[in-house]
Amino acid sequence: MNRADGRTVGRADRGSGAGRLPLLFVSLMLILSCAGKRHDVGAAAIPEKIALRVTNHNFLDVVIYAVCEGQRTRIGVAGGSRYTLMDVPRRLLGPGQEMRFVGDAIGSQERAVTETIVVQPGQFIELQLETSLARSSVGVY
């Protein structure tokens, strides 16, 4: 199609790109604002506490200690002939993730000492205190 000034108007000559720039900018901002932050679904947060279930078959109350890298920290008291749930702070674990437990019976010289265990994130610990504390055991699940 010809104009009065003699120029031909076609599809390629329908306005300059300067008029499209604000529209392009607004569209880009809208797309970026809708995108939001990306969250890594595969990485789960490491819990700050480790669950400890103590089954005390002894008649006496037993004070439970966690021993990590030679440092003994009181965790709580397991009542006689009961199940007790406790939380062990993850900060007690050293770089090797190793610990052991000591149970001191209140009112007795008896003591339970477990073998060294390795605890990974997401696991829980079950401590079985027997009537003779020397026969006690621990498991990590």
Confidence of residue 25 (pLDDT cuts 50, 70, 90): confident
In tens, the pLDDT along 81-95 reads 999 999 999 999 888
pLDDT at 19 over 80: no
pLDDT of 28 reads 73
pLDDT at 13 over 60: no
Check: CB of residue 127 under 8 Å from CB of residue 53: yes
Mean pLDDT of all residues belonging to the chain: 85
Check: CB of residue 67 under 8 Å from CB of residue 102: yes
pLDDT at 1 over 70: no
- The domain locations on the chain are 49-140
Whole-angstrom distance, CA of residue 87 vs CA of residue 125: 10
pLDDT at 43 over 70: no
| Best CA proximity match to 63, nearest among 76, 47, 82, 81 | 76
Q: Which residues is 50 bridged to in the sheet?
A: 88
Domain 49-140 has CATH 2.120.10: no
pLDDT at 130 over 90: yes
Q: What is the pTM of this model?
A: 0.68
pLDDT at 75 over 60: yes
Confidence of residue 40 (pLDDT cuts 50, 70, 90): low
